[in-house]
């Protein structure tokens, strides 16, 4: 057994619920347009829950040059700084 197998063995996965999406109430949003940043989104989670929302689809949140509404990803490993409450400069 190699090191990768050891790591895989230790990873805990939640039980897979087949068909979970059939009962999902999905709310798709641009975080910055909805309530400015992730902190603003967190502030609205109770509100969304009261609406029955149980799944969020966050539109472009990855770092982007911003030439295609955020869909032109610059770095898929990096969140947009403005959504983290940081200066994007």
Would you state the pLDDT for residue 3? 65
Tell me the per-residue pLDDT of 49-72, one tens digit each, with 9 for 90 and over. 999 999 999 999 999 998 988 899
Please check whether residue 51 lies inside any domain of the structure: yes
pLDDT band at 89 (very low <50, low <70, confident <90, very high): low
pTM of the model: 0.72
Please check whether residue 70 lies inside any domain of the structure: no
Would you state the pLDDT for residue 50? 98
Please check whether residue 67 lies inside any domain of the structure: no
Please check whether residue 47 lies inside any domain of the structure: yes
Please check whether residue 36 lies inside any domain of the structure: yes
The boundaries of the domain holding residue 53 are: 30-61
Give the integer Cα–Cα distance in Å for 29 and 31: 6
pLDDT band at 10 (very low <50, low <70, confident <90, very high): confident
- φ/ψ region of 85 (left if φ > 0, alpha if ψ in -120 to 50, else beta) reads left
Q: How many domains does the chain have?
A: 1
Please check whether residue 54 lies inside any domain of the structure: yes
What DSSP assignment string belongs to 12-72?
--PPP-TTGGGG--EEEE-HHHHHSSHHHHHHTHHHHHHTT--EEEE---EE--SSSTT-S
4: Cβ contacts below 8 Å, ≥ 6 apart:
none
């Amino acid at each position: 057994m190699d090191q990768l197998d050891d790591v895989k063995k230790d990873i805990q996965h939640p039980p897979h619920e087949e068909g979970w999406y059939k009962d999902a109430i999905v709310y798709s949003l641009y975080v910055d347009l909805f309530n400015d940043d992730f902190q603003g989104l967190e502030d609205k989670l109770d509100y969304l829950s009261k609406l029955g929302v149980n799944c969020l689809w966050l539109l472009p949140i990855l770092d982007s040059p911003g030439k295609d509404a955020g869909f032109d990803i610059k770095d898929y490993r990096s969140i947009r700084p403005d959504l983290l409450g940081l200066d994007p400069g």
